[in-house]
Amino acid sequence: MLFHLHMLAGQNAYLSPFLLLLFLLALTGQQATYARLLASADAATPDTLFIDTLGADTMVVHLQETVVTAFSRTQNLMDVPGSLTYIGGEVLEQSKPAFNLLPVLDYAPGVFAHQGATNTSRVTIRGIGARVPYATGKIRAYFNNIPLTNTSGVSFVQDIDPAIIESMEVIKGPATSHYGAGLGGTIVIRARQPAARSSGFSNTLQTGSYGLFRNSLLADFSADGWGSSLVYSHTQSDGYRQNNQYRRDALSSVTQFAAGQNTHMTLLIAFSDLKSHIPSSIDSLTFMESPRRAADNWMKTRGYENSSRLLAGLNTFYRIHAKLFAEASLFWIGHEEKEMRPFDVFFEERSTLGTRVSLRRQWPLEGNHVELSGGGEAFLENYLYSNHKNPGGEGRVGEKFSDNRERVGFFNAFIQADARINRWVFSAGGNLNHNSLKYFDLFQHGENDLSGNYSYGFIFSPRLSSAFRYHDRHRMFATLSHGFSPPALSETLTPGGRINPDIRPEKSWNIEFGLRGQSAGKGFFYDLSLYRMRVEDLLVAERVGEDAWVGKNAGESLHRGVEAEIHWIVWTQRGNQGRSGDELSVRANFSYNHFNFTDFTDRDRDHSGNRIPGVPREVLFAGMQQQWAMGAYAGISWQHVGRMAMNDANTRFYGSRALLNLTVGQRIRFSPHWEAEVFLFANNLLDRHYASMILVNAPSFGSQPRYYYPGLPRHYRGGIKVFFR
């Protein structure tokens, strides 16, 4: 079966008080409209200042007043005492991602998204997670308070359908107490807000190179006291390479409703079903001469991933009195996957049940503001996985040779105090984490049974930060914070397959300083950060087989860098009858990454002083967008990615690359209710030959190491969007 809820029941006492509070809050209060409740909640928040929004009849970035919430309190971006990049709905609307939201993360400096294939990706923040082979690891992610990070430390942000997303906030560095003090940072995704929209529907159809077809149907419903959004999307592609076919169906819904005069609730459900073939990485000769080829062994076995995921969560907000608020979430995630690989066939099932609860108290003090918040997060995960033989690598399921179960209990407690006093903003918080894991070897018996328990105890991560308004429109901030990344079970095993209790989580201390400001007319915004982060107890995954690693704590690394971003409305002209007029805008960001091992020895090889592989030294992204009053628009973007090391020894490097992309479109309004949009994207306009992802520390088992995932040559996609309001 896909989900095993019965295995979660009764395993841990962490959940009991949280579940009780959740249902008490849900049943409290009298009926009221959702709009009235939102209005009263907003009245308690600080004044807003700045962010990007998208009007119903515009396609360009506007610098307007709004707020961010990634630090679990509503505040304007200018006053956030830390590094944060907001990616609004207008960026997703302009980008119209075909497969997932990863290309949109290019808008955040310090974030580097590798897209090796349609189902193979890796997101890094400030170099953290660069050495994770095929996934996004060591950073945390949340979707409406539901964790998108499993107990193996892998975040699956690429599984969220872009059409259901309202905005994203990327916290860089271990700078948040409320979300578990992730080693590299945290990605917070917000779902659509249907209660704030009018009823209507839209359908977006895209087709493009290499057999791309995507259709996304979205419907919004709103009435007095509730609102709901429903999205269904189907995406398929033949792929650029051999054995590269892709098919994904996703159904998502978010419903907001008032459950009383002081209570509102949000129900989120997201389901996806994926079948994606795997061409895998290739060696340098194949990369240069035949980039469309799949790796021979993966082509022979017709390797693929077939997976489904269901995510459901209920979030309740309750106003206890004028300045005291409570929020509780109950969530459930189920995941099932089969992966056909040349060396075996892998099956896994995950079932996760959890909750988050927080309380927030405000004290307005004659124009100043003090706030105290705290709470906890707990979840239980039951993880079943097994391996079967693939006889002769022919793509057949053979005899089972391993069968495993992990039961993981995860607990997070957090507290944070914030104060805005005159020109100063102060924030202090702490996070206390505890993980416990029980491993059951369901295949071996007697002396060969490798079952065992693992726990690395409690970890406390403090955070101190402040911001100073030295001018009405300019701020400076500083942060000192601690973060960690728990090891996955596979990283704690000895060569004999037993749990090594001496493995410790990776930990980091981060210090940063930044400047943030905007022009008098709010047409120009800048954000600059300088940071220094030291990672201790660095986990090294030594590959001992084609899909086997042994982990050990092998040293330290030092991450130093500069991040900068600007948004600039170069000029604008107001249109007639409330419509947008002509406007030219620019958005750009830059990252300089100086990441090195400071103490790192692996198998008697001293790598101290070497660059951390998989991270370019510099990344520059710039985009310019022009809109005309008649509804036409055009945009151009350019991304430069610097040279990067490909292995720990720094014996191989991949050179820099630059990509140029073009967008054109036309919006047509047929009536006050009906509109249409026609658009065309031309990507890699200069037809550069490049690698979109590097497999760091690629092994060599009797052949040349396969480092390279080829990027797409010049390719196109276009479509039409029709919507009714």
The rounded distance, in Å, linking the Cα atoms of 469 and 458 is 37
Say what the pLDDT of residue 497 is: 63
Q: Are 464 and 175 in contact (CB under 8 A)?
A: no
Say what the pLDDT of residue 541 is: 62
Say what the pLDDT of residue 364 is: 85
Q: Which CATH number covers residue 409?
A: 2.40.170.20
Q: Are 537 and 505 in contact (CB under 8 A)?
A: yes
Say what the pLDDT of residue 550 is: 63
What the block records as the tokens of 409 is 């209990």
- Give the DSSP H/E element, type plus range, for residue 434: strand 424-441
**C-alpha 666 chain-centroid distance:** 31
E strands, 173-211, are 185-191, 200-208
Q: What is the dihedral of CA 126, 132, 135, 137, to 10 degrees?
A: -50
Instruction: Find, among 701, 697, 711, the residue nearest to 296 by Cα.
Output: 701
Total domains, the chain: 1
Say what the pLDDT of residue 260 is: 80
Instruction: Find, among 314, 219, 338, the residue nearest to 265 by Cα.
Output: 314
Q: Are 11 and 380 in contact (CB under 8 A)?
A: yes
Region of residue 609 (phi > 0: left; psi between -120 and 50: alpha; otherwise: beta): left
**3-class SS at 164?**
helix
Instruction: Find, among 566, 659, 650, 564, the residue nearest to 615 by Cα.
Output: 650
Q: Which domain holds residue 214?
A: 5-724
The CB density around residue 344, as the number of other CB atoms within 10 Å, is 20
Say what the pLDDT of residue 571 is: 87
The pTM of the whole model exceeds 0.95 = no
Q: Report mean pLDDT in 10-residue bins for the chain, 725 residues.
A: 40 39 36 39 34 35 57 78 89 88 91 87 91 86 90 86 91 83 89 88 96 96 90 96 96 91 93 95 95 95 96 94 93 96 94 95 87 93 95 94 92 93 93 91 81 87 94 94 84 69 87 93 91 89 57 85 95 69 92 93 84 95 93 95 94 95 95 94 96 89 87 96 92
Long-range contacts of 600-606 (CB under 8 A, 24+ apart): 600/538, 600/540, 600/554, 600/555, 600/556, 600/557, 600/648, 601/554, 601/555, 602/540, 602/542, 602/554, 602/648, 603/542, 605/649
Phi and psi torsions of 158, nearest 5°: -70, -10
Q: Are 544 and 571 in contact (CB under 8 A)?
A: no
